[in-house]
């Protein structure tokens, strides 16, 4: 019992999401050595149920470490935090009315440290890496993961190597530089960056923080599921709409719901999960429509929504499994539609979303028009990052930015 008091994590082992083989959690692991598939951390759920209550959690500080028992870090001293988590779940009125639904919320991850929800995964993964003795980390990134890792590695005193496509938003380049990481701009996409990280591992001795290859980023992202549950008084919504690239958040939330059910904190149906992708990078949408269990790599992937510009993902089969199990949907939207989604969210609710967040608005519009979502259903959209990280993507594209938007002040004001 004495160890329990100091050791608030109930982590027991890692388990392969494909073959089910189990591995020790106290050794550094990437994917399953047998089949190369992602490993999920598993916990002593009975122990969690006996150790903590919803009321105790409600009294803890408003960040993701309030779910301490469900997270893998053993010692508090190893937690590397910038205050991430417990973002507001904003009920919408004007946006809901425009889209023809009555119960619509936006989970605003734009308010996170580093301006995107990548902070969740990186806080937990960097903390656990620190605990396991890692000194040097590397990551392939579509932009925001690189920025987040650079920041958390700086706070942890680790060396970080960040590989991003040459055309990532300026903000991502500046944040990596500011945090003193080693940055590499790569010709191509995140998949090309991933190959460089893999090839460099032997020579550079870095730990590969690629999402779902490293087992703990998903644990940070699953806290979005805990928060939605807690913020809606432990009654999940009917539908969650999520812009998926690597899919970590989508599968992470599903894992969170499973864990909450195991300890008896949730009753009733889980939400139908909606995966939103961009028209010119929609591998999961295509595979889902074709009833496939795995996705094929998407050729010539292109979209301004960089976070979902992921032509192939190690967790493809996990996303597709969640869509099937939840009786969810997969929707592809065009760049003009998702940018219009950004404008609509800002004009109706004052939320300045990233393009990926705008994509969820466009997808919701489509699903309501098709009758897949009914007026009274409770719907949560995920705005996964701040519009401020994508300034170069917007001005010309916003409906309110027609030439002549900015005017000289009228004479009588001077
Ligand atoms: C990474 C990213 C996504 C996709 O997240 P996954 O959980 O990897 O699917 C969506 N939006 C933004 C802003 C991102 O940075």
pLDDT per residue as tens, the chain (414 positions): 344 444 589 999 999 999 999 999 999 999 999 999 999 999 999 999 999 999 999 999 999 999 999 999 999 999 999 999 999 999 999 999 999 999 999 999 999 999 999 999 999 999 999 999 999 999 999 999 999 999 999 999 999 999 999 999 999 999 999 999 999 999 999 999 999 999 999 999 999 999 999 999 999 999 999 999 999 999 999 999 999 999 999 999 999 999 999 999 998 899 999 999 999 999 999 999 999 999 999 999 999 999 999 999 999 999 999 999 999 999 999 999 999 999 999 999 999 999 999 999 999 999 999 999 999 999 999 999 999 999 988 866 666 666 677 788 888 765
118 CB under 6 A from ligand 1?
yes
249 CB under 6 A from ligand 1?
yes
Phi, psi of 59 (to 5 degrees): -90, -5
When the candidates are 3.30.70.580, 3.40.50.2300, 3.40.50.1100, 3.20.20.70, the CATH number that belongs to 89-114+217-391 is 3.40.50.1100
pTM: predicted TM-score of the whole model, two decimal places: 0.95
Dihedral (C-alpha) 358, 140, 81, 319: value to the nearest 10 degrees? 60
Distance of CA 59 to the CA centre of its chain: 25
306 CB under 6 A from ligand 1?
no
Minimum CA distance residue for ligand 1 atom 12: 307
Q: Ligand 1 center to residue 309 CA distance, Å?
A: 9
Minimum CA distance residue for ligand 1 atom 14: 307
Rounded Cα distance between 283 and 301, Å, is 9
Rounded Cα distance between 175 and 179, Å, is 6
Q: Ligand 1 center to residue 340 CA distance, Å?
A: 19
Domain ranges of the chain: 89-114+217-391
Q: Ligand 1 center to residue 240 CA distance, Å?
A: 15
Atom number of ligand 1 nearest to Cα 121: 7
307 CB under 6 A from ligand 1?
yes
Q: Ligand 1 center to residue 414 CA distance, Å?
A: 46
165 CB under 6 A from ligand 1?
no
Between 335-349 and 355-369, two packed helices, what is the crossing angle to 10 degrees?
A: 90
279 token code pair:
């028209």
């Amino acid at each position: 019992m004495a160890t329990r008091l100091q050791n608030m994590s109930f982590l027991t082992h890692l388990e392969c999401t494909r073959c089910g083989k189990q591995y020790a959690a106290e050794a550094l692991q990437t994917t399953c050595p047998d089949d190369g598939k992602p490993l999920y951390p598993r916990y002593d759920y009975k122990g969690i149920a006996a150790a903590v209550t919803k009321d105790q959690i409600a009294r803890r500080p408003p960040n993701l470490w309030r779910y301490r028992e469900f997270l893998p870090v053993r010692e508090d001293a190893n937690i590397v935090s910038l205050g991430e988590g417990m973002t507001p779940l904003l009920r919408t009125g004007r946006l809901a009315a425009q889209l023809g639904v009555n119960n619509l919320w936006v989970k605003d991850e734009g308010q996170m440290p580093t301006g995107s929800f990548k902070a969740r995964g990186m806080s937990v993964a960097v903390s656990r890496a620190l605990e396991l003795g890692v000194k040097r980390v590397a990551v392939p990134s579509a932009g925001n993961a690189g920025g987040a890792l650079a920041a958390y590695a700086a706070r942890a005193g680790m060396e970080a190597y960040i590989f991003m496509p040459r055309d990532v938003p300026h903000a991502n380049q500046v944040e990596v530089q500011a945090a003193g990481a080693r940055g590499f701009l790569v010709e191509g996409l995140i998949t090309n960056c991933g190959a460089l990280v893999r090839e460099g591992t032997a020579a550079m001795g870095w730990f590969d923080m690629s999402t779902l290859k490293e087992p703990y980023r998903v644990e940070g992202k699953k806290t979005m599921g805990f928060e939605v549950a807690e913020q809606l008084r432990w009654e999940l919504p009917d539908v969650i709409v999520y812009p998926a690239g690597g899919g970590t958040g989508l599968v992470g939330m599903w894992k969170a719901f499973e864990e909450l059910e195991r300890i008896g904190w949730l009753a009733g149906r889980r939400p139908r999960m909606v995966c939103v992708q961009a028209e010119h990078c929609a591998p999961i949408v295509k595979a889902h429509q074709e009833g496939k269990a795995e996705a094929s790599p998407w050729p010539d992937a292109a979209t301004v929504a960089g976070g979902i510009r992921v032509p192939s993902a190690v967790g493809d089969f996990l996303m597709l499994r969640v869509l099937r199990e939840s009786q969810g949907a997969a929707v592809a939207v065009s760049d003009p539609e998702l940018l219009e989604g950004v404008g609509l969210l800002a004009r109706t609710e004052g939320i300045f979303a990233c393009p990926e967040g705008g994509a969820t608005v466009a997808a919701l519009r489509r699903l309501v028009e098709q009758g897949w979502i009914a007026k009274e259903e409770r719907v949560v959209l995920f705005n996964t990052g701040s519009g401020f990280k994508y300034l170069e993507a917007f001005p010309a594209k916003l409906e309110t930015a027609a030439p002549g938007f900015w005017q000289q002040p009228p004479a009588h004001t001077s």
